[in-house]
Amino acid sequence: MAGKRRSLRIGGLSKRYMLTTMLVMVLVVVVAVTAYSVSMAGSIYLNMREGLYAKARTASDFFENYITRTYAEYYDSAYMYIANFDDVNRLELQFINTSGQIELSSHSMTAGSAPGTEDIRAALSTGEISPWDGYSDSTGEHLMSVSAPMMYANGQIIGVMRYVTSLKVADRLVRTNVLVASGMGLAVLLLVAIISMVFLRSVVEPVREITAAARQISGGSYGIQIGKHYRDEMGDMVKAINEMSLKISQSEKAQSEFISSVSHELRTPLTAITGWAETIIYEEGLDEETKRGMGIILQEARRLTKMVEELLEFTRIQDGRFTLNAQPCDIAAELEDTIFAYRELLRQDDMTVEYEPCDEELPLVSADPARLRQVFYNIFDNAAKYAREGGRITVATRTDGENVFLTFRDYGPGIPEDELEWVKLKFYKGSSKARGSGIGLAVCDEIIKFHGGDLTLSNAEGGGTLVTIRIPVEPTFE
C-alpha cells in the first residue's frame, strides 16, 4: 500500500482546508498590503507637504519684515529672492499677483501663465497658507504645491509666493514600496500554501491509506495490516483498524472452519436420510398419507443437501481450494441444456421459460461447463423461488466479439433498491421471506469472477429482476 508515491489531490478535506486557510490569508494579506501602502504613501506625501509648508512659512515671514508699502520694492525683493534660490533643481518658486498670474518664477517657462489651482485661490481669499496636489493642465505631470499669501504691514495681500514640486520621484517610490509589499504578501501566501500542503499531506495521505485499507477489509480482505505506524491520533486509528482487521480475519476463519466442519458432518446423515426416504417411498403397501410424508422428508432432505453443498462450495472458495476445469466451451449449448432440464421443474411451478438466442453464433469461451451450469441452475432456482407470481422467465444471449452476455429476466416483484448492492453478499437475504441460506448468489458471483467476468443484478423496466452475466471470450482467470 505504501509503495507508490501519489500526489496530493485537492478535494474533500484538502479542498475545504485550503479554501478556508487561503481565503483568510488572502484577506489578511490584502488588508495588510493595502493598509501599509496607504500609510506609506500618506507618510511620503505628508512629509513633502510639511517640508513645503515650512519653506513657505519661513519665506513669507522673511518677506513680511522687508516688504514696504510700494509694489516696486516687493517686486525687487522677489526678483532677488528668486535669483538667489538654491533649490531650483528640486523646487519651482513662483510669485503670483492678485490676479492669479505668475509674474516671477525660478523656471522662466512658466512666467506669465495662470495656474488657477485651488491653493492660489485659497491663499488670496483667506490669507492662509494653502496646499494642493494634482495634475498639471498643460503637462499632465503630478504636482504638489503650497501657496503663502504675501502682505503689506497693514495686512493687505499683495500677491502669493508658491512652492511647486514634481511628485514623479515620490510616485515612483510609492509604487516601488507597494510592489515590494505585494511581493512580500505573495511570498507569505506561497509560504502558507506550502506549509498547508505539507500539513495536509501529513494528514490526507494517512487518511487515504487508511481508507484504502478499510475498503479492502470491507471487500473481504480480512486480516490485512496497514504497514505505516504514526505517533499521533493517526497511529491510534491505524492500530484500531489493524486490530479490527485481525479479529475479523480470525472470526471469519473460525466461521469458515465451523461451517465446513458442520457441513461435512451433515452430509453423511443427509445422504442416509435421502437414501432411505427414496427406498421407503417406493415400497408397496404404503398408504397415501405415509407416502406424502416421505415425499416431504425427501424434498426437505434434498433442500438441506443443496444448502450444505453451497456452504461447502463457498468455504472452498474462501479457503482458496476452488478450482476450474477450463476448456473450450459452447456456452449457448450449455445454457440450452440447462433450460431443457429445468423447464419441466419450472412448469410444475406454473412458470414458463422464453429463450431468445443471439442472431449470430456465439464464440467459444474458455470455461468450466459444470460450474456454468451450476450458476444457471441457481439463477433459475432463485427465479422460481422469488418470482413465481411473474409466471415466466426470459433468457437471452448476445455478444460484442470480446464478451458473451447472458441475461435472465423474471417478472416478479424485483429487489428493493436499497438491497441491490447487498444481495450478492453471503448469508444476505434482505426483506425476503423465502427459505434459503442466502449463499447461492454469492457462490455464483465468485464462479463468474473466477472466469474473469461479472454478474450484476438490477430491476428491469416494467418490473422483475434482471440478472446479467458477462464472460470474456479470452478471460484472465483469478
Tell me if the domain spanning 327-472 has CATH number 3.30.565.10: yes
User: How far, rounded to the nearest angstrom, does the alpha carbon of residue 283 sit from its chain's CA centroid?
Assistant: 72
pLDDT for the residue numbered 255? 65
Yes or no: say if 146 and 56 are a contact pair by the CB < 8 Å rule: yes
Q: In whole angstroms, give the CA distance from residue 367 to residue 352.
A: 28
Q: Parse the chain into domains and list their residue ranges.
A: 63-170, 245-319, 327-472
Q: CATH topology for 245-319?
A: Helix Hairpins (1.10.287)
Count CB atoms within 10 A of the CB of residue 235: 13
Asked if the domains at 63-170 and 245-319 fall in one CATH topology, the answer is no
Yes or no: say if 472 and 403 are a contact pair by the CB < 8 Å rule: yes
Number of H helices, E strands in the chain: 9, 12
Q: In whole angstroms, give the CA distance from residue 456 to residue 20.
A: 42
Instruction: Report in angstroms the alpha-carbon separations of 34 from 41, 42, 46, 78, 189.
Output: 10, 12, 18, 44, 15
Q: In whole angstroms, give the CA distance from residue 245 to residue 241.
A: 6
pLDDT for the residue numbered 66? 64
Q: Per residue of the chain (478 residues), what is the pLDDT tens digit?
A: 334 444 444 456 677 777 788 888 889 999 999 999 899 989 999 999 999 999 888 888 877 776 656 777 778 888 888 888 888 888 999 999 988 898 888 887 677 788 889 999 999 999 899 999 999 887 888 999 999 998 877 778 888 999 999 999 899 999 999 999 999 999 998 998 888 888 777 777 777 787 888 877 776 676 777 776 677 777 778 888 888 878 877 776 766 666 666 666 676 787 788 787 778 877 777 788 887 888 888 777 877 777 777 677 667 666 666 677 788 889 899 999 888 888 877 887 788 888 998 888 888 888 888 888 888 988 888 888 777 777 888 999 999 888 999 999 988 888 888 777 777 776 666 556 555 556 778 888 888 988 889 999 888 887 888 999 999 987 554 4
- Quote the CATH superfamily of domain 63-170: PAS domain (3.30.450.20)
Reported pTM: 0.47
